[in-house]
Amino acid sequence: MRIAVIGTGVIGTSWATLFLEHGHDVVAWDPAPTDLPGVTVAADPAAAVAGADFVQENGPERLELKHELLAVLDAAARPEVVIASSSSMLRPTDLARGAPAHPERVLVGHPFNPPHLVPLVEVVPGEATSEAAVEAAMSFYTSVGRTPLRLRAELPGHLANRLQAALWREAYSLVERGVATVADVDTAITEGPGLRWAAVGPITGQHLSGGDGGLAHVLEHLHPGTEALWSDLGTPTMTPDLADRLITQVREAAPNPDALLARRDAVIRAALDARKAAG
């Protein structure tokens, strides 16, 4: 297949790496100079998608810019070709307004960074998206080793980012209140629930912690305490002081981002290998 990658920033480059690893021809375009090994670089977005069998769009997270770009892609790509946006926040119904000729082929195909390593892809149809486009996207992402998850409703941030946002809110609040440092928060996750979550999700994890009674036992005996925690969770405001505190502490905790990035990717690969071996 020929895959068009529109926008070659961090996400687009990672997508291109994944598609190349699975033997696809990749044609890329970006308004900035692009130098990706193994990829054909098109002169403009229309040329990039003209012969494509699937389009992965990775433009800036601004609706007006997305509309300008989608209008070009919609006019140039074959009518049956899916246009999937990597947007992390925008609703596909709103995106599709930028593709008036064939809004039925527009959907969100939101990866988790980095897409060439992390399997999750959230597939979000809009009001005009056809079932054929959804099925084609699900099949394509599966074919390149991803785990596509079809969402049942449109919400800002889709699913996984909303779950992350809930954790970040309390994490920032704890730092703001002086309960913990950035390093403390990260350690609490990587050395605790993060290990479990790599194997089973948070709700299934609760079920397993309930012994023979499972989740029913957990909800019966622990729900008063859980509700008390909910009422005590913070609602921080990103003030300049809080932002400075977070930035200073994360720089202290991660003085060598390049080495940490390499370690992150190595751990992700090892975790995926271990999970596969465990069955």
| Helix H or strand E segment including 40 | strand 40-41
CA dist 189 and 235 (Å) reads 20
User: Which pLDDT score, from 0 to 100, does residue 115 have?
Assistant: 96
* pLDDT above 90 (res 136): yes
Q: State the fold for domain 2-150.
A: Rossmann fold (3.40.50)
Half-sphere exposure of 46 (CA within 13 A, CB side): 5
For domain 160-278, the question of CATH label 3.40.1160.10 is answered with no
Percentage of residues of the chain with pLDDT beyond 90 = 93
Residue spans of the domains in the chain: they are 2-150, 160-278
Mean pLDDT of the chain: 95
Output the CA–CA distances (angstroms, integers) from residue 89 to 92, 185, 258, in the order listed.
9, 25, 27
The pLDDT of 158-169, averaged and rounded, is 96
User: Which pLDDT score, from 0 to 100, does residue 154 have?
Assistant: 95
pTM: 0.92
pLDDT bracket for residue 33 (50, 70, 90): confident
* pLDDT above 90 (res 189): yes
pLDDT bracket for residue 36 (50, 70, 90): confident
Phi, psi (rounded to 5 degrees) for 6 = -100, 110
* pLDDT above 90 (res 279): no
User: Which pLDDT score, from 0 to 100, does residue 45 have?
Assistant: 97
**pLDDT, tens digit, for every residue of 76-100?**
999 999 999 999 999 999 999 999 9
On the question of a common fold for 2-150 and 160-278, the answer reads no
Q: Which residues pair with 150 in a beta bridge?
A: 123
Q: Which amino acid appears at position 19 of this protein?
A: F
